[in-house]
Amino acid sequence: MDTIFFCAVLFLFGAVFGSFLNVCIYRLPRGESIVSPASRCPGCGHKLSWYDNIPIASYLVLRGKCRSCGEVISWRYPIVELANAALWAFAGWHFGIEPVVLPSLLFISSLIIIFFVDLEFYIIPNVVVLPVSVVGLASMVAISLTTSDPDFPSWWAFPLAGLIAAALFFIIAIIVPRGMGMGDVKLVGMMGFFLGRTAALGIFAGVLLGSLVGIGLVLGGRKGRKSWLPLGPFLAVGALVALFYGEAIIGPYLGLFEQ
């Protein structure tokens, strides 16, 4: 019952925080402040009332349109709010009421911002990935040094994974500049700082998914062979897979080398 209540609380707060993520996704690539002005319609600029800014519910009540001008509201807004709420709740169920759930929530929300910003603007904002990397690394190292869980990775696994992942992608970016950008280098570093050894799985899953989608788009005539496809969204999906299932997938294989 405590876990169910915990997950329900995380869902509600996740939906509210998801509304803030929408502000970040819209304003950061445009160089606008995420603090002011208050939320407004992107069409007519009308300041939204509190009852028009309730996560998920307001979109459904207004049928996806601005109350003032009738401008269609992007489907991204409720999707982001629902995704953040659902993933926060799932993190609560998966990790339980443990310290590791807090950095996991930050990691999830930062990945959602990166997913949508890179998908639309082909950039990964430094203002997201750099401070989140620092907070994530500090949090995971602190948890490792204080936890009584013998299965929790050693503290050095997190900085080592981040540095190795970033260095590898940096070399690839230099050799094949059209293959990926510096934003991807910073993103995989962030993944390593949060995930430790399971970052390898997240990176592999993200690159594989991106390759499959890219091949599918080329075969379907939606993209040319030299068309640019952002890697960030796929790495974000891979990072979520690694966050929740990384140890379950690669743990048994790594255990073979420890015997």
Res 38: pLDDT: 80
pLDDT digits (tens, 9 = 90+) for 87-113: 999 999 999 999 999 999 999 999 999
Q: What is the mean pLDDT of the chain?
A: 90
pLDDT digits (tens, 9 = 90+) for 240-258: 999 999 989 887 766 554 4
Res 234: pLDDT: 97
11-15, 31-35, 201-205: segment of lowest average pLDDT: 31-35
pLDDT digits (tens, 9 = 90+) for 35-82: 888 887 777 777 878 777 889 988 988 888 888 787 888 999 999 999
Q: What is the DSSP secondary-structure string of the chain?
A: -HHHHHHHHHHHHHHHHHHHHHHHHHHGGGT--SSSS--B-TTT-PBPPGGG-STTHHHHHTTTB-TTT-PBPPTHHHHHHHHHHHHHHHHHHHH-SSTTHHHHHHHHHHHHHHHHHHHHHS---HHHHHHHHHHHHHHHHHHHHH---TTSPPTTHHHHHHHHHHHHHHHHHHHSTTT--HHHHHHHHHHHHHHGGGHHHHHHHHHHHHHHHHHHHHHTTSS-TT----SHHHHHHHHHHHHHHHHHHHHHHHHHHH-
